Amino acid sequence: MPTLDRQNDVFLLDLGDGENRFHPDWLASVNAALDEVEQASGPRALVTCATGKFFSNGLDLEWLGTHGEQRHEYVTTVHELFARVLTLPLITVAALQGHTFAAGAMLSLAHDFRVMRADRGFWCLPEADIHIPFTRGMSALIQARLTPQTAHEAMTTAHRYGGQDALAAAIVDRAVDEDAVRRTAVEIAESQAAKAGDTLATIKTRLYASVLDTLRDTDNPLG
């Protein structure tokens, strides 16, 4: 399960050491951690990381298979997590030490910056292969953070981007050695901790106003 730690001005949210799929309990735990980060005051920034082979594999399809009647509510909760991370009143950096797939990849895009391991692990949107179309909210989020060419390739071909490919495609901001992933993310976060506050929240909210509207359209989250 996710854990939250703090080093000086940087909160470290570790998503776990498994596949870190979005089980309802996992989502509740992430949101509780974000409550703590948000309610803190003064200079601060967030690094979201994980331990092991995966950053996150996204939606918990196994749980969803046995709780189909909660699909609408579940997707609404996932959309709200994306919207929340996208507009946190502090700088956020995703440290991608391992595979970052599907909704896990989208969660990484909701952060301000991404640092990826250069030599192993993939960033991938496999939806076209596993026959789960992106919701309109997911589509809006991805398109708001990637160039048209990259968004199109990533979304229609399920291409797996290694660290260097992801850097060249501007999916991530840095690609570094395995042992530098978390450190680099923390350095970026520390350097921006003084930005925390209402101004930054307003800037992000206006930047992504239309994405937020789509993610928060709870009438038809699956549409």
CB of 192 closer than 8 Å to CB of 203: no
| Among residues 136, 160, 183, 216, the one that binds a copy of itself under rule CB under 8 A | 136
**Listed residue (10, 44, 35, 30) closest to 185, CA to CA:** 10
Nearer to a copy of itself, 32 or 170 (CB): 170
Angstrom distance (rounded) from CA 125 to CA 151: 10
74 burial via Cβ count (<10 Å: 0-12, 13-18, 19+): buried
Q: What single string gives the DSSP state of each residue in 183-204? A: HHHHHHHHHTGGG-SHHHHHHH
Site membership for a copy of itself, residue 218 (CB under 8 A): no
C-alpha distance across the termini of the chain, in Å: 30
Angstrom distance (rounded) from CA 29 to CA 27: 5
Kindly state the smallest distance separating residue 167's Cβ from a copy of itself, in Å.
11
| Among residues 192, 212, 215, 221, the one that binds a copy of itself under rule CB under 8 A | 192
Rg (CA), the chain: 16
Q: Phi and psi for 153 in degrees, rounded to 5?
A: -60, -45
Site membership for a copy of itself, residue 9 (CB under 8 A): no
Site membership for a copy of itself, residue 7 (CB under 8 A): no
Nearer to a copy of itself, 27 or 109 (CB): 109
Kindly state the smallest distance separating residue 18's Cβ from a copy of itself, in Å.
27
Nearer to a copy of itself, 1 or 194 (CB): 194
| Among residues 7, 8, 199, 220, the one that binds a copy of itself under rule CB under 8 A | 199
Site string for a copy of itself, 139-168 (x = CB under 8 A): x---xxxxxxx-xxx-xxxx----------
Nearer to a copy of itself, 31 or 139 (CB): 139
Q: Phi and psi for 78 in degrees, rounded to 5?
A: -65, -45
Binding site for a copy of itself (CB under 8 A): 91, 112-113, 127-129, 131-136, 139, 143-149, 151-153, 155-158, 170, 173, 192, 195, 197, 199-200, 202-204, 206-207, 209
